[in-house]
Amino acid sequence: MSAVVVVLGDDSRVHECLAALAAEAREAEVVVVENAATGDGPSLPIEPAKRIRRPENPGYAASAAEAIEATTRAYVLTLNPDATLHRGSLARAVAVLDAHDDVGAVAFRLLRPDGQTLDSAGIQLGPIRRARDRGMGEPADGAFTSREDVDAACMACALFRRTALEAARDGAGEILDRRFFAYKEDVDLGWRLRHAGFRVAYVPDAVATHERGWKEGGRRAIPLELRILSLRNRWWTILKNESALSLLLRMALYVLVEVMLVLRLLVTEPGVLRAYPRIALGIPGSLRRRMSRSR
């Protein structure tokens, strides 16, 4: 099994993340990418097969894609530095991929550090294709306890089948769309995995703790640029993956909801409106990435 970890800055949380990984899979092939890093960096509790440290930050999507391309094993685990595997959880996720050839990804049950609050029980797309982490911020006790298919796996901690990732490459040949920089790259990937004929399985007994850099109700704490990217990437994801018929049938609803969103943003977050020119500029590339797909 391979594991990829993308770190922003000198984040000390990566030590606990990698120590937990080492306890679960000592022989894992680990690739660590450290963006916006300085110097040689501290020692790590696990020896990476490849360690990339650079002063610039090309974004999560590009860095995770680079790391995945550098791995060689049949299964690939993605981990954020603020995610910590619970004992035995990785083996349970692996067992699901071993037992079900049509499962392309396993979505872990992610808990907040208090252990009582859910962070993600897989990602679900709503009628207007807004993605949400199921159960985010809700009490964990008794919630989302059954195995079921979801639309995508939160890449803070998810396990992927390499052959599924290869089958799900987009029209530009990318596993992750490097244009995205950050946000929604996991939604885009999950959609493409399902296009390629694979399921994304939520496995409730595969558990990890995830601190998450932002939480519900805290939009103003998210840098403006990231809020812009989130809106832009949502539309690029729709344009890449929604079928032509579904786009046509949903268009009236899309337009109505988007007009309401624009009106709200004008009052509450006018800076986020900068996303719309970027959405427009990315339309040709997004359409090429869907139209080039031969599957």
The total number of residues written for the chain in this structure: 295
What phi and psi values does residue 244 have, to the nearest 5 degrees? -60, -40
| pLDDT above 90 coverage of the chain, percent | 83
pLDDT at 292 over 80: no
* CA-wise closest residue to 184 among 224, 130, 103, 138: 130
Query: Which pair of tokens denotes residue 259?
Result: 């007009």
Angstrom distance (rounded) from CA 47 to CA 99:
30
pLDDT per residue as tens digits for the range 87-130: 999 999 999 999 999 999 999 999 999 999 999 999 999 888 89
Torsion from C-alpha of 150, 289, 274, 185, nearest 10 degrees:
30
Q: Are 289 and 177 in contact (CB under 8 A)?
A: yes
* Predicted local confidence at residue 247, as pLDDT: 84
DSSP-derived pairing of the beta strands 148-150 and 75-79: unpaired
% of residues, the chain, pLDDT over 70? 95
Q: Can you list the domains of the chain with their CATH numbers? A: 2-210 (3.90.550.60), 219-291 (no CATH)
- pLDDT tens figures, 230-274: 999 999 999 999 988 888 888 888 889 999 999 999 999 999 999
Q: What backbone torsions phi and psi does residue 159 show, to the nearest 5 degrees?
A: -115, 130
Overall average pLDDT of the 177-206 stretch: 97
Is the Cβ–Cβ distance between 203 and 93 less than 8 Å? yes
Confidence of residue 295 (pLDDT cuts 50, 70, 90): very low
Residue type, 57: N
Position 127 scores a pLDDT of 84
- Alpha-carbon gap, residue 265 to 273, rounded angstroms: 7
In the block, tokens 């268009």 appear at 251
Q: What are phi and psi of 239, to 5 degrees?
A: -65, -30
Smallest Cα–Cα separation from 153: which of 190, 206, 196? Answer: 190
The per-residue pLDDT for 294 is 41
pLDDT of residue 217: 55
- pLDDT > 60? residue 53: yes
Q: What is the mean pLDDT of residues 26-52?
A: 91
